[in-house]
Structure 1
Amino acid sequence: MATDKIVQNMEVIGADGVHVGTVDGVADGRIRLAKRDSGEGQHKGHTHFIDLGLVADVEGQRVRLSANAAVAVTFEEEKSGKPV
């Protein structure tokens, strides 16, 4: 997978096409999601990350994950490195 194609403001979607987040950047083998897509409740306003190992393809301006959105968010990590 050519991760150099993943750039800021690309949409991240699950294998099912459901929105997971928006790319803020890529570093240390992970996609950093924009805080505006950080969820609700205790997760709102936190930085979340998706491991590049979940990336199945880059399609135009979208990063498609190998897992459905509902499953992919369970693999998200917060800035501390702890699973959400």
Structure 2
Amino acid sequence: MADTSAIQEHMEVIGADGVHVGTVDHVEGDRIKLTKKDSGAEIEGAEGSHAGHHHFISLGLVAEVEGDKVRLSANADVAISFEEEEAG
């Protein structure tokens, strides 16, 4: 398992395919909270309304932390399907 303690604010989250998924706001429990302004709304295959609120990615999807990037074990379009939305 990846060293998720190395995840920092403003790191880029990318899928296994190298496609941008979002930007880290912070780690909250066992999830990465993505910034509101950049939470995967532009990924091809993403469904629903992804703008205007935070989304979360499970730390279980993190394959590795390399430099200023968090690489997921799933391709971006699959990772988006696992995203959780902030309860509002």
Give 1:52's aligned residue: 59
> Residues of 1 paired with 2:85 and 2:37: CA distance?
14
> Residues of 2 paired with 1:57 and 1:13: CA distance?
10
* CA offset digits 1:12-56 (Å, max 9, x no partner): 000000000000000110000000113277321111000000000
Q: Which runs of 5+ in 1 are unaligned?
A: none
> Residues of 1 paired with 2:29 and 2:70: CA distance?
17
Give 1:9's aligned residue: 10
Q: Which runs of 5+ in 2 are unaligned?
A: 43-47
**TM-score where L is the length of structure 2:** 0.85
Give 1:36's aligned residue: 37
As a proportion of its length, which structure holds more helix?
Answer: 1
Give 2:45's aligned residue: none
Structure 1 residue ranges (4+ consecutive) displaced by more than 4 angstroms after TM superposition = none
Structure 2 residue matching 1:53: 3-state secondary structure: helix
> Residues of 2 paired with 1:11 and 1:27: CA distance?
16
> Residues of 2 paired with 1:5 and 1:73: CA distance?
22
Query: Equivalent pairs: percent with the same residue?
Result: 66
Give 2:83's aligned residue: 76
Q: What's the RMSD between the two structures over aligned residues?
A: 1.3
**TM-score where L is the length of structure 1:** 0.89
